[in-house]
Amino acid sequence: MAELGRFLAPRGTSIREVMVRIGGAQGIALVVDEDRRLLGTVTDGDIRRAILAGADLDRPVEMLLEGRPPGYTEPLTAGVGTPDARLLQLMADSGLRHIPLVNETGQVEDIAVLGDLLRDYESPITAVIMAGGYGTRLRPLTENVPKPMLPVGDKPLLEHTIGQLHGAGIRRLNITTHYKGNVIEEHFGDGSEFGVSIQYVDEERPLGTAGAIGLMERSDEPVLVINGDIVTKVDLQAMVDFHRENRAAMTVAVRSHEFRVPYGLVETRGVEITAVSEKPVLRSFIIAGIYLLGPEVRGYIPAGEPCDMSDLIELLLGAGQPVVSFPVHEYWMDIGRPEDYSRAQADANGDGGL
């Protein structure tokens, strides 16, 4: 079974610390008392919902347990020594990836993790990497190679992305190409050398981040779409879990962003000034370039017509379909500008944690 210590969060541990631990504990923390008895579980989804709600991340983690909605059930556990086959059946029935294992006195002794029970697990989800852009803002770097093939550390950016998808169990990939797509195909081939299967979709004319999906084979599983010009350590399996937990038609990864207004901000009522804020900092969430689309979303994408993700979101909202936000607190960088690319290079060389 798993190394238990990295999953435990003693009562009084801050939400912020648990957030860091969950990143290395496959999406869950076990909140325990002084005798290691289970008080409750906190998932990656609980943390991200707390971020969206503006929770104080320095508060004790048990605050998240106290704020559980009516109807919340106690976490599913199993006894120490439960056979693997039974654990897998419990996970299949409950949709869980983790089951704490307790002894006869209720103390946590171990935890069963789906990834350990199925080491060669392959997700049924297909990924789409959007790699057809011109990279105009990064010229002259992109004169001979497309932006996703620019080196970040010791390998192309796109190779980082493919490795991350492979690590999440996603092995079936589509790469949309347009500008210098031959460079990508020559490097990756059919994907077998990288442990994945790759199909290429050459856009004769750019159809946007959503429009290109209409060219691909339909699936009964969600489709993960990721922009080819971002570097991130986001937990993709956690995003899949979040999508399913919230019964979303579409899940959009978002990133907290701050912008300092360089002027005094004036609030008015008619001709009267009611308040003044001197160079305020505005905080909001921005789209992070990663999307998870349920199979039903394909019906909203206009066939053969340009359609950006923002257009698709508007179409879904107009149809009353649930679109949810998934906050990214892990490393994330869009390399669309020269200064951002330089930062990603520095991070890959050990200065920023990439």
pLDDT above 80 (res 2): no
pLDDT above 60 (res 71): no
Q: What angle do CA 291, 342, 289 make, to 5 degrees?
A: 5
Amino acid letter, 183: V
User: Global pTM?
Assistant: 0.76
How far, in Å, CA of 238 to CA of 240, rounded? 5
pLDDT score of 30: 87
pLDDT tens digits, residue range 39-66? Answer: 888 888 888 888 888 888 888 888 888 7
pLDDT score of 293: 93
State yes or no: cis peptide before 60, omega within 30 of 0. no
pLDDT tens digits, residue range 115-170? Answer: 777 666 677 888 999 887 777 888 887 888 888 888 888 889 999 999 989 888 88
pLDDT score of 128: 92
Q: Which residues pair with 147 in a beta bridge?
A: none
323 vs 21: which has the higher pLDDT: 323
pLDDT score of 56: 87
- Which range has the worst mean pLDDT, 50-54, 106-110, 252-256, 302-306? 302-306
Q: In the 8-state DSSP scheme, what is residue 5?
A: G
Token representation of residue 156? 């192309």
pLDDT score of 299: 85
Token representation of residue 59? 């508060």
Amino acid letter, 23: G
CA atoms within 13 A on the CB side of 301: 24
With a CB cutoff of 8 Å and minimum separation 6, the contacts of 17 are 9, 61
Backbone CA torsion sign across 34, 35, 40, 42: positive
- Closest-CA residue to 186 (of 230, 175, 195, 215): 175
- Segment 191-209 mean pLDDT: 83
- What value does the mean pLDDT of the chain take? 84
pLDDT score of 144: 83
pLDDT score of 315: 92
pLDDT score of 94: 80
- Segment 69-92 mean pLDDT: 78
Pairing relationship of beta strands 281-293 and 223-227 according to DSSP bridges: antiparallel
pLDDT score of 83: 84
Residue 285 C-alpha from the chain's centroid: 14
pLDDT tens digits, residue range 206-256? Answer: 777 787 787 777 778 889 999 988 989 888 888 988 898 889 999 999 998
How far, in Å, CA of 141 to CA of 146, rounded? 9
